[in-house]
Amino acid sequence: MRQAFKTSIAVLAAICAFSTAFAQKGDQMELKQDANKKKWYESFSIRGYVQARYNRVLETNQKLSCEQCDRSWGENGGFFLRRIRVILFGQISKQVYFYFQPDFASSASTTGLHFGQIRDMYFDLGVDKKNRFRFRVGQSKIPFGFENMQSSQNRLPLDRADALNSALSNERDLGVMFYYAPTKVRELYAKLVSDGLKGSGDYGVFGVGVYNGQTANRPELNNDRHSVARLTYPFKIGNQIIEPGIQGYTGFYTMPTDQLSTGTKVRKDMTYIDKRVAATFVLYPKPFGILAEYNIGKGPEFNTQTDSIEARDLTGGFVTLNYMLKYKSHIFIPFTRMQYYEGGKKHERDARSYKVNEVEVGVEWQPVKQFELVAMYTISSRRFEDFAKQNNLQQGSLMRLQAQINF
């Protein structure tokens, strides 16, 4: 009996020792897993850029301006911070990505500068494990026009061309987009940006979506949503990369009362058809590059003959030619852009009527990756008319300078 008792005690001690050793090993494995697990602040990154400008060198006409382009153009303009962007982004799980971009160079009024405003706030939800199919929810760029989607951090001319940029103020709106792109194409989109080839970023080879239609940071004013679709595909021919594309959108735009002059005649519901279709051709600079886009459509436009806003035809496009030169650690990219646009700008006062003919010649210099300097000479003829400014044709030329810091 005593022997059996001693044997039981020995077996129990052995079991306890084994359990303790196993538990300790499990704790060590858990600690190792916790150590390998990313902390919450390691799931996202921060980057950004700042652009400082001066537009008054060799200026021949101080009445020549472009409200949508750069509000420091022309009379009373001086040194100007065009953009101050700080971007937070990250793949917070295998199928969830977020992107938040405020801008701190927004104008709250004609006398107030450097206010913070949301440019992008969205999240991507991957449908499959490789995120080839994904939904984008929130405020983001609408997939219409290559130059519209191309970041200002990467674009060569200082401002986007009127022809396609007149489609959307700040290129963005609130809505839901669906994008598809094969994994290899998504990798190529990322490489086109990281290699300094002035890519647009990853907006899929196919995109479709619905959005409010009143443009970014403005409330919806009617019961109709805009819809948009885009098809594009980059491919290689020898050393060159070419990307053709086609895109279009349709919807109804309601003129906000704060954009109307007293005396301007409008429809009773102040709502107008707003639709466009555009074609794109891109030859990435290896070393010679081309970006050409053209669009036609219909939208609200001020008519000086009737002092009213009407749904009228619009048309216009641009061609940008560039060449990438590398000397030691320096990069020089001379470029020229020719653009034409005739139509309205729905987001300006009285859906201001425009006729633009413009040629720009410039060069971008990158001594280091973190700094860029652009000098651009602009020769412009702009007719822009609303209720207060009729028969307003301004012609002239000017040298524009921009310094940009990337971080």
Residue range 376-392, pLDDT digits in tens: 999 999 999 999 999 99
Q: Is the pLDDT assigned to residue 96 strictly greater than 80?
A: yes
Does a cis peptide bond (omega within 30 degrees of 0) precede residue 300? no
Asked if the 39-406 domain carries CATH number 3.10.20.30, the reply is: no
Question: Phi, psi (5° rounding) for residue 136?
Answer: -115, 120
- Under the banding of pLDDT at 50, 70 and 90, the label for residue 109 is low
Q: Is the pLDDT assigned to residue 127 strictly greater than 60?
A: yes
DSSP string, 224-257: --EEEEEEE--EEETTEEEEEEEEEEEEEEE--G
Say if strands 271-283 and 133-141 run parallel, antiparallel, or are unpaired.
unpaired
Mean pLDDT of 47-74: 96
Residue 108: predicted pLDDT: 74
- Under the banding of pLDDT at 50, 70 and 90, the label for residue 47 is very high
Mean pLDDT of 318-327: 97
244 and 283 Cβ atoms separated by less than 8 Å: no
Give CA separation, 360 vs 161, 267, 400, in Å. 11, 38, 10
Q: Is the pLDDT assigned to residue 182 strictly greater than 90?
A: yes
253 and 281 Cβ atoms separated by less than 8 Å: no
Q: Which residue has the higher pLDDT, 399 or 43?
A: 399
Read off the pTM.
0.89
Mean pLDDT of 310-325: 98
Task: State how far the Cα of 282 lies from the Cα of 161, in Å rounded to an integer.
Answer: 15
**Domain segments of the chain as ranges:** 39-406
Mean pLDDT of 13-37: 50
Q: Is the pLDDT assigned to residue 28 strictly greater than 80?
A: no
Query: What's the mean pLDDT when you consider all of the chain?
Result: 92
- Residues in the chain, total: 407
- Under the banding of pLDDT at 50, 70 and 90, the label for residue 30 is very low
Q: Which residue has the higher pLDDT, 25 or 247?
A: 247
Residue 125: predicted pLDDT: 98
193 and 406 Cβ atoms separated by less than 8 Å: no
